[in-house]
Structure formats: structure tokens, C-alpha cells
Structure 1
Amino acid sequence: MFTGIVQGMGKVVKVVDEPQFRKLTIELPEGLSSNIQLGASIANNGCCLTVTAQNDQEVTFDLMQETLHKTNLSQLQANDQVNIERAAKVGDEIGGHTVSGHIVGQAVITHIVPGHQQQQIWFSIDPSWAKYILHKGFVAIDGCSLTIGEVEQDRFCVYLIPETLERTCFGHRIVDDKVNIEIDPQTQAIVDTVERVLEQRGQ
């Protein structure tokens, strides 16, 4: 389990591609590489990955075909950066919302509106997810727990403060970049339940 509070940015130091498989080695930010056991879970751009090897601050993950298909981790190259969050511990403060690290797919940045104290970013989404994207609801984008701003059919926006832009990869994102999306599971459960009840009632 994760909280959606990005702890820092890791740097891609090595990518090894094989047929339908990828080994990804990330240099973790200072202070996040201690007490890691093989098999531990670390979120990379919001995707829960299992540690298969470690060498000081560098950790390696194995990415299967399903992960490569659904996430932007397939597009990473050496020196790229990823949002990093270690798994939550019992007693940790949850400042975002509960995040599983299971990505449903990718959204595309369509518009960036800069501002003095905030930046607005618009994303286009798969129409099948639109019913889960609600004004003032939660969504995890590249592992960052964010409050949904405006919603318009198959697109939505979020507002980012300078601190978020500095601590995450959002400060480097540009139009047409793809980002990982995890919808809020509580929102999904409520929407799906209401739809099922209405269907049973013939409405």
C-alpha cells in the first residue's frame, strides 16, 4: 500500500530490454535506499514494482509485458526520472489517499497552463474511466495523489503548487507526455455499485 505522497525522484541508470520483458535499474534519492529487502515493493511513477536486486542506492526491478503495456515505464530511457514512493508502514501519516500501485492505464497531457502560484494541467483519458473522474475526487497520477479540478467529458485537470512541481516529475512534463493513472478504488466501488443497483431495478 502507498499514500500517493511522492518522496522524491529516482534516476534511470540502466535499461535492459528482452522480448516482452524489461529490467529497470533506478538510482534512488538520498535517504530512500536504506533497509530495502529483496522482494520489497516500491512505487515507480505510481506502479508497484518488486525489488529484485540492490547495489547501494541502485535498485533493479523486473517489468513484465502487462506492466509495459499499461504504464509509461516502457518509455523510460537512461537518465530519465521517475516519481518514487516506498511502501507505507503501519503508523505512517497518510497525507494523500490509499493507493495500491495498480495502474489502470495512461492518460495524455493535452494542455499546460502556467501560473505564478499554481500550474494547471489537462489530461485526456480513456472514455471508460470518465465515470470515475469526479470533481473534487481523488486520482493518482504517476503515483502522486491529486485532487481533481474541472471535468469535461473525456478530460480533466489538476492544479499543482510549486512544491509539487519541484518534488515530482510534473515539473518536467510537457504536452503529449503520457502519465500513469490509478483511479480511487472507493470511487470505483461506489460508482459500480450504483450502476449495478440501477441495472437490477431496470433504470
Structure 2
Amino acid sequence: MFTGLVEGLGKVQSIQHQGRDARLLIDTRGLGFEDVAVGDSIAVNGVCLTALDPSAGGFAADVSGESLSLTSLGALSSGDKVNLERSLTPASRMGGHFVTGHVDGLARCSERRRDGGSWRFAFELPPQLSRYVARKGSIAVDGISLTVNAVSGNRFEVNIIPHTLEQTNLGGCQVGSRVNIEIDLVARYLERLMGLDARGPDGDWRDDLLAGKS
């Protein structure tokens, strides 16, 4: 489990393809990741991976073919910067929201513009994910916990302050860039629970809510 508060920007040192799978070597020098141990969970651009062969200079992680095809990790190249976050501990501050590291899909950046001293980003979601996103709700973009500022159809907007832009890979995000999206865990379970309660396993609870039923 993660918070969506990025601890630092790592750098892809190399990608070793192994059939459909791949092994990533991530450079973490200067980030304070020297205590990473074999088996630790680390979110890389929001994807939960298992640390292997840790050293003072970084760690390796095996990525399955499925993860490569369903997330932005498959498009990484040597030298790319990636958001890194180690998993929660009992003493961790909960400053973002609960993030599992299980990516729900990819979104495309459709707009990037100045908004006062910050930047406003707009992303277009796959239609099947848009219903889980609400104004002032939480969403993880490449593992970054963000607050949704506006929603319209399958498009949502977020406001990025300069600090976040500098400390994460959003600084390099441009129109057309694809990012990993994880919807709020609460929304995912709410739909499942309400759907089973109101209409059965294949029902749509939203129709009942709109009709004023419970």
C-alpha cells in the first residue's frame, strides 16, 4: 500500500527484455533508498514492483508481459525518469490517499496550460473508468496522489503546483503523453458492494440511485 506522495525521481538505467517480460534497472543514487531490501514493494510510476538486487546505486525489478502491455512501463527507455515511492510503514504519515499500485488503465494528456503560478493538466480516460472520477475526489496519476478539479465526460483536470512539477515526472508530461491511472480504492469497492446489493452481480446500481431508490 502507498500514499501517492512521490519520494523521488529515479532514472531507468537499463531495460533487459526477457521474452514477453523485462527487467528494469532503476538508478536511485541521491534519493535515500539505500535501505531498500530484497522483496520490498516500490511503486514505479504508480506500478507496484518487487525490488531485486538492491545496492547503494539502485535496484532491479522484474516486469511481466501483462504489466508491460497494460501500463506505461512498456514504453520506458534508458534515461527516462520515473516516480518512486516505497510502501507504507506503521509510522508513515498518510498525506495522500490509499494507493495500491494496481493500475486500472492508461490516460492521455490532452491539455497543459499555465494557471496562475501553477499548471493545469487535462487527461482523457478510457470510457469504462470515467464513472469512477469525481470533482474533488482523489486519483493517482503515474503514482502521484492528486485532487480532481473538474470532470467532463471522460476528461478530468488537475492543478499541479511548481513543487510537484519539479519533484515528479509530470514536468516532462506533454500533450499526447500517456500516464498510468489508478482510481480511488473506495470508488472501486463502492460500485461492487452497491451493485451486488441493489441489482445483483450484473446490475447497475447507478440507475437505482438516480431513481431515488436504495
Normalised to the residue count of structure 2, the TM-score between the two structures is 0.90
Tell whether the 8 Å contact from 2:29 to 2:58 is kept in structure 1 after alignment: no
What is the aligned partner in structure 2 of residue 194 from structure 1? 194
Number of the residue aligned with 2:172: 172
Match of 1:92 in 2: 92
2:183 corresponds in structure 1 to 183
Whole-Å Cα distance in 2 between the matches of residues 148 and 33 of structure 1?
A: 30
What corresponds to 2:63 in structure 1?
A: 63
* Larger-gyration structure (1/2): 2
CA contact (8 A) 1:122 1:157 kept: yes
In structure 1, the residue matched to 2:38 is 38
RMSD of Structure 2 on Structure 1 (CA): 1.6
Query: By how many angstroms is 1:29 displaced?
Result: 4.7
Deviations 1:137-181 (A, max 9, x none): 000000000001110111111000111101101111111111001
Structure 1 stretches of 5 or more lacking a match? none
- Is 1:111 the equivalent of 2:131? no
Aligned to 2:14: 14
1:55–1:35 distance in 2 versus 1, CA, 3 Å: closer
Distance in structure 2 (CA, Å) of the matches to 1:29 and 1:44: 15
Q: What is the DSSP-based 3-state SS (H/G/I as helix, E as strand, rest coil) of the residue aligned with 1:16? A: strand
Structure-to-structure mapping, 1:131-146, within 5 angstroms: 131-146=131-146
Q: CA deviation at 1:28?
A: 1.1
SS of structure 2 residue aligned to 1:67: helix
- The size of the alignment, in residue pairs, is 203
8 Å contact from structure 2 (residues 7, 84) kept in 1 = yes
Q: Which amino acid in structure 2 is aligned with residue 129 of structure 1?
A: L
Q: Give the TM-score, by structure 1 length.
A: 0.94
- Mapped to 2, the partners of 1:165 and 1:29 lie a distance apart of 20
Of all paired residues, the percent bearing the same amino acid is 33
The answer (yes or no) to whether the contact 1:7–1:83 under 8 Å persists in 2 is yes
Structure 2 residues without counterparts, runs of 5 or longer: 209-214
> Matched residues in 1 for 2:31 and 2:168: separation?
16
Partner of 2:48: 48
